[in-house]
Amino acid sequence: MFVSVNELVGLPGMPGTAQGVRYSIRKLASSEHFRRKRAGSKTIEYSIDCLPPVTQRALRERHVAQLMATAPQEITTQPPVKRERKQMLYSLLRHIAVRHNW
């Protein structure tokens, strides 16, 4: 899981300003595999694996709370449409008729 500086501001174990988080994260995410550029943006995201355990726990709890707040999606299956079946049958019959010169 990757997070931006703005998502880390004020979390337990992190400074209360974006500038403070940037300063701290520079030391924590010293390796390139802890950083990545967000697609379509200049924002740099950081792996939560390089963060203090208390910050990781807070991020995971927030993520779970967000997932629990969203309503589950209902999965519905619909039977095939009769019109499509009829079209397939007519197409098959035409193919057979042409093949056998009917």
Structural domain boundaries of the chain? 2-69
What does the pLDDT look like over 4-34, one tens digit per residue? 999 999 999 999 999 999 999 998 988 888 9
pTM of this prediction exceeds 0.75: no
What does the pLDDT look like over 34-45, one tens digit per residue? 999 999 989 999
Q: Which of 21-25, 55-59, 97-101 has the lowest mean pLDDT?
A: 97-101
Q: In which element (H, E) is residue 36 found?
A: strand 35-37
DSSP string, 40-72: TSS-EEEEGGGS-HHHHHHHHHHHHHHHHHSPP
**Residue 100 token pair:** 């056998």
- Contact criterion met (CB below 8 Å) for 5 and 16: no
Q: Does domain 2-69 have CATH number 1.10.10.10?
A: yes
- Residue 81 or residue 47, greater confidence: 47
